[in-house]
């Protein structure tokens, strides 16, 4: 790695304040970016990766084991009861779906808004989205009592002449989540194609360096696979034009999905008549919460990654800071929503609803409510201070809090509303079992397995897009612009 070049001495006529902080620090040459990102994929993985993968894999297996136990034995292995018929499974589902939102927001909405800083984080964020939706998708599937009949939720023609019930929000979920997953996957894969081609080409270049026969074979196989998935990308002008059009279209398609998916997930609750669920504020509140939690997760993943792979110059503190601002904004919206719920409960004059909210704060589950408030409302407010949003380790800690807080938000909504509703005679208490807890923990294993495989085998930063936002890529840049670029493989 070379030292930063001493370009900064160049005098310019632009006032210093107006110079935007570059998105890639230290004015790295474009080839360096490729080397840096593709190097992760090409090189051997360090020991920690193997350990992390091993641990995650075991966690994932544990989760699958518990799911097997659940399916063969019955939903009773969870802590559910009457009145709390939805517990951790639904909490986890909403939690994971929410996590996914940051990816789509970064990749689609920020793209449409021409926010260039998205380039260095969007790939990882999108990958996170897909893996989170996979984790999320598990739960509604396994939470039903007779999973082998869950296909009845799909509108398939059948000899019984009955259809699913289209008024049910659960059915809307089926469509919303599957659409969301499909579009996100396509969008992510689209963006990967040029970079996959880069890796393919680099593999060919490196083929000569293979020493053993085995290495050669692996190289060949990799070439084949990367070649297959890059779908014949050669970076021609036509390819680029088609690519950009398609990417724009998908970005346009994804944008409403960011809003719709979590709105529809929130309908699961809002459409009911349960005090604490039946609230019109839910759709925007859920979307804001989802973005909030998604950014939290992005930061949780990104901060260690940039350190480990020396990507601090591509994923800069400025990136982190911008994300912190999003967290702060959405966290404040969420806080407002919490306040509004209480206000409406009081203002609406419905004693059942008022009780439901009082019970959240002061009932048997008071602790979950106050964990939620401290993590979601109080902790992001620290980002008003510049130091707080520019110190990576501090951000990391807060991002963990955000994750915890948002999980608890869903817990509070699902469980505290259910456990005490209309008739005091049916009030009850819910606590999770080992199966509940470890299945959820295991989904982190699944998530990490997928994520680790992702950083191992796919370029975790969009090489070509990052290049496009470097000063060199800007012909008007004082840093020199296009003369330093030879066209080539970007």
Q: Based on the shown chain and the rule CB under 8 A, indicate whether residue 79 belongs to the binding site for another protein.
A: yes
Q: Which of 24, 80, 302, 322 binds another protein (CB under 8 A)?
A: 80
Locate tokens 């408030």: which residue? 373
Q: Does 169 bind another protein (CB under 8 A)?
A: yes
Please tell me whether residue 426 binds another protein under the rule CB under 8 A.
Answer: yes
* Interface stretch with another protein, choices 28-36, 312-320, 355-363, 452-460 (CB under 8 A): 355-363
Evaluate whether 226 touches 196 at the Cβ level (below 8 Å). yes
List, as one string, the DSSP characters of 16-73.
Answer: GGGSPPPSSGGG--HHHHHHHHHHHHHSPPPHHHHHHHHHHHHHHHHHHHHHHHHHHH
Check residue 346 for interaction with another protein (CB under 8 A).
no
Shortest distance in whole angstroms from residue 70 CB to another protein = 9
CA angle (267 as vertex; 263, 268 as ends), nearest 5? 125
Which of 4, 5, 39, 163 is close enough to bind another protein by CB under 8 A?
163
- Rounded to a whole number of angstroms, the minimum distance from the CB of residue 280 to another protein is 12
Does 29 bind another protein (CB under 8 A)? Our answer is no
Measured from the CB atom, is 77 or 281 closer to another protein? 77
Binding of residue 363 to another protein (CB under 8 A): yes
C-alpha–C-alpha distance, residues 327 and 306, integer Å: 19
C-alpha pair distances (Å), 475 with each of 8, 351, 482, 483, 490? 18, 65, 5, 8, 15
Using the rule CB under 8 A, is 362 a contact of another protein?
A: yes
- Which of 103, 191, 194, 227 touches another protein by CB under 8 A? 227
Does 31 contact another protein by CB under 8 A?
no
Contacting another protein (CB under 8 A), which of 367, 483, 487, 488? Answer: 367
Selected range binding another protein among 14-22, 105-113, 221-229, 377-385, rule: CB under 8 A: 221-229
Q: What is the CA radius of gyration of the chain?
A: 24
Q: Which of 468, 286, 248, 472 is nearest to 376 (CA)?
A: 286
> Does 355 engage in binding with another protein (CB under 8 A)?
yes
Binding mask 84-103 for another protein (x = CB under 8 A): xxx-----------------
- Judged by beta carbon, residue 171 or residue 340, the one nearer another protein is 171
As a whole number of angstroms, the distance between CA 460 and CA 123 comes to 6
Task: Please count the residues of this chain forming the interface with another protein, following the rule CB under 8 A.
Answer: 78
Report 393-422 residues binding another protein (CB under 8 A): 418-422
CA angle 141, 144, 147 (to 5 degrees): 65
Cis peptide before 83 (omega within 30 of 0): yes
Does residue 59 interact with another protein by CB under 8 A?
no
The rounded Cα 456 to chain-centroid distance in angstroms is: 18
Phi/psi class of residue 74: alpha, beta or left (left: φ > 0; alpha: ψ in -120 to 50)? left
Q: Smallest distance, Å, CB 17 to another protein? A: 50
Q: Which of residues 281-340 bind another protein (CB under 8 A)?
A: none
String of contacts with another protein for each residue 120-149, x by CB under 8 A? -----------------------xxxxxxx
The answer to whether residue 76 forms part of the interface with another protein (CB under 8 A) is yes
To the nearest whole angstrom, how small is the minimum distance from the Cβ of residue 189 to another protein?
18
List the interface residues with another protein, window 241-280 (CB under 8 A): 268, 271-274, 278
Residue 73: other Cβ atoms inside 10 A: 10
CA-CA distances (angstroms) from residue 254 to 119, 291, 427? 17, 14, 42
83 binds another protein (CB under 8 A): yes
Does the protein bind another protein through residue 165 (CB under 8 A)? yes
Q: What is the Cα–Cα distance from 121 to 460, expressed in whole angstroms?
A: 8
Which region, left, alpha or beta, applies to residue 161 given φ > 0 means left and ψ of -120 to 50 means alpha?
left
The contacts of residue 340 (CB under 8 Å, 6+ apart) are: 281
Q: How far is the CB of 278 from another protein (least distance, A)?
A: 8
With respect to another protein, which residue has the nearer C-beta, 156 or 214? 156
Q: Is 161 in the site for another protein (CB under 8 A)?
A: yes
Torsion angles phi and psi, residue 113, rounded to 5 = -85, 5
């Amino acid at each position: 790695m070379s030292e930063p070049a001493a370009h900064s001495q160049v005098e310019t006529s632009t006032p210093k304040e107006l110079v935007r902080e570059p998105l890639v620090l230290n004015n790295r040459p474009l080839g360096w970016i490729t080397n840096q990102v593709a190097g992760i994929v090409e090189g051997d993985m360090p020991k920690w990766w193997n350990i992390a993968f091993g641990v995650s894999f075991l966690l994932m297996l544990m989760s699958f084991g518990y799911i097997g136990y659940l399916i063969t034995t019955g939903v009773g292995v969870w802590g559910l009861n009457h009145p709390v018929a939805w517990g951790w499974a639904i909490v986890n589902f909403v939690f994971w779906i929410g996590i996914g939102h940051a990816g789509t927001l970064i990749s689609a909405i920020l793209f449409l808004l021409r926010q260039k800083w998205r380039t260095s984080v969007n790939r990882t964020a999108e990958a996170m989205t897909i893996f989170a939706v996979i984790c999320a998708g598990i739960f509604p599937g396994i939470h039903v009592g007779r999973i082998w009949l869950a296909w009845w939720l799909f509108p398939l023609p059948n000899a019984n002449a009955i259809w699913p019930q289209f008024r049910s929000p659960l059915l809307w979920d089926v469509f919303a989540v599957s659409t969301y997953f499909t579009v996100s996957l396509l969008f992510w894969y689209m963006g990967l194609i040029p970079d996959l081609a880069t890796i393919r080409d680099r593999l060919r270049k490196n083929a000569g360096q293979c020493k053993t026969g085995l290495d050669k074979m692996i190289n060949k196989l990799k070439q084949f696979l990367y070649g297959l998935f890059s779908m014949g990308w050669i970076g021609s002008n036509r390819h680029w034009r088609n690519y950009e059009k398609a990417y724009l279209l998908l970005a346009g398609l994804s944008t409403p999905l960011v809003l719709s998916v979590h709105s529809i997930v929130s309908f699961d609750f809002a459409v009911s008549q349960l005090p604490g669920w039946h609230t019109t504020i839910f759709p925007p509140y859920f979307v804001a919460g989802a973005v909030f939690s998604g950014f939290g997760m992005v930061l949780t993943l990104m901060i260690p990654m940039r350190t480990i792979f020396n990507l601090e110059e591509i994923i800069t503190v400025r990136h982190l800071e911008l994300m912190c601002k999003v967290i702060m904004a959405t966290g404040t919206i969420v806080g407002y929503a919490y306040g509004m719920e209480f206000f409406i409960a009081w203002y609406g004059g419905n004693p059942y609803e008022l009780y439901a909210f009082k019970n959240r704060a002061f009932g048997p589950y008071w602790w979950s409510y106050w964990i939620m408030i401290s993590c979601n409302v109080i902790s992001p407010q620290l980002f008003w201070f510049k130091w707080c949003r520019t110190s990576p380790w501090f951000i990391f800690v807060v991002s963990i809090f955000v994750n915890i807080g948002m999980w608890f938000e869903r817990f509070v909504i699902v469980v505290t509303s259910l456990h005490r509703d209309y008739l005091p005679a049916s009030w009850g208490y819910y606590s999770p079992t080992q199966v509940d807890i470890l299945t959820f923990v295991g989904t982190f294993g699944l998530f990490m397995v997928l994520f680790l495989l992702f950083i191992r085998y796919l370029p975790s930063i969009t090489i070509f897009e990052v290049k496009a936002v470097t000063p060199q890529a800007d012909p008007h840049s004082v840093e020199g612009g296009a003369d330093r670029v030879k066209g080539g493989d970007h």
